[in-house]
Structure 1
Amino acid sequence: MDDTDRHLLSLLRANARESAALLARKLELARTTVVARIARLERDGVIAGYGVRLGQQLEQAAVRAYCGLSVAPRMGAGVVRALERLPEVEEVSAVSGQYDYMVLLHCETNEQLDALLDRIGLIEGIRKTHTSVVLSRKVDRRSAVAPPER
């Protein structure tokens, strides 16, 4: 991957539905070159798929929380499989420190979050949870689009 690939990826992360022609203009490349680069990135597994990012109105109304999980020995795989089945679970990361996993949760209401935490607490193998509700985001670079440095 070169700087152009990284810039292309940042543009696609900001808007995966951007036309190849517009991407080409932004990258100052031929449209066919952009199409070929995207195909290569997909083939190489750099681009694993495309998704939907919620609009600001829904995103701001959402309730997000980080939940730290302590898991019984040799129960991690089962806990992760159970978490994968919960649509409100956005991300599960194995971490060092006080907890074994940090889980990012996304709910529509506080009541939905409360019920979700009850369900998570009942998953076999979870010994302890600790949840922090996100009050506001101060930095979010997931949609930042910066041109490559030249």
Structure 2
Amino acid sequence: MDDTDRHLLSLLQANARESAALLARKLGVARTTVVARIARLERDGVIAGYGVRLGQRLEHAAVRAYCGLSVAPKMGSAIVRALERLPEVEELCAVSGQYDYMVFLRCETNEQLDALLDRIGLIEGIQHTHTSVVLSRKVDRRTAVAPPPAA
């Protein structure tokens, strides 16, 4: 991957529906070059798919939280399956340290988060949870970044 690929990826992360022609203008390359690069990045597994990012209105209205989970031995697979069924679970990671898993949760209200945490706590095999509510996001590198100035 070169700088053009990285810049293309940042543009696609900001708006995956951007036309190849507009991407080409922003990158200063031919439209066919953009199409070929996207195809190669998909084929090489660098681009695994396309999704929807929530807009600021919905993002700022959400109650987000990180929840650390300590689980009983040999219960990880069942717990992962149970958490996969909860639409409020946005991300689940196995981690090292004090907890076995970290879950990123997104709810519409504090009451919904409270009820969700009760449901999570009742999942068989979860021994302990610790939740931190997100107050604000200070850095978000998932948005498009302008390319460095040309030398």
TM-score (norm 2): 0.94
Q: In 2, distance between residues paired with 1:149 and 1:48?
A: 29
Deviations along 1:114-138, one digit per CA (max 9) or x if unpaired, are 1111111111211100001111111
Residue of structure 2 equivalent to 1:91? 91
Alpha carbons 1:3, 1:148 under 8 Å: kept: no
Structure 1: tracts of 5 or more residues without a match:
none
Aligned to 1:137: 137
C-alpha deviations, 1:41-61, integer Å up to 9, x for none? Answer: 112221111111111111101
The runs of at least 4 consecutive aligned structure 1 residues that moved more than 2 Å come to: none
Aligned positions of 1:1-150 closer than 5 A: 1-147=1-147
Percent of matched pairs sharing the same residue:
88
Q: TM-score, normalised by structure 1?
A: 0.95
Contact 1:90 1:105 in 2 (8 A): yes
Contact 1:7 1:148 in 2 (8 A): no
After superposition, the CA RMSD in angstroms is: 1.3
SS of residue matched to 2:67:
strand
In 1, Cα distance between equivalents of 2:149 and 2:95: 32
Structure 2 counterpart of 1:141, which letter? R
SS at match of 2:16: coil
Where 2:137 maps in the other structure, the secondary structure is coil
The CA distance in 1 between the partners of 2:96 and 2:53, in whole Å, is 29
Structure 2: gaps (5+ residues): none
Q: 1:17 is aligned with what amino acid?
A: R
- Secondary structure of the residue aligned to 2:73 is coil
Mean Cα deviation higher: 121-130 or 138-147: 138-147
Cα distance, 1:95–1:30 mapped onto 2, change above 3 Å = same
Q: Matched residues in 2 for 1:45 and 1:82: separation? A: 28
- Contact 1:3 1:149 survives alignment (8 Å): no
Please state whether the residue corresponding to 1:22 is helix, strand or coil. Answer: helix
Q: Which amino acid aligns with 1:51?
A: G
Q: For residues 149 and 2 of structure 2, what CA distance do their matches in structure 1 show?
A: 11
Deviation, 1:149, is: 7.4
| Stretch moving more, 140-149 or 8-17 | 140-149
In structure 1, C-alpha distance between the alignment counterparts of 2:46 and 2:149, rounded to whole Å: 21
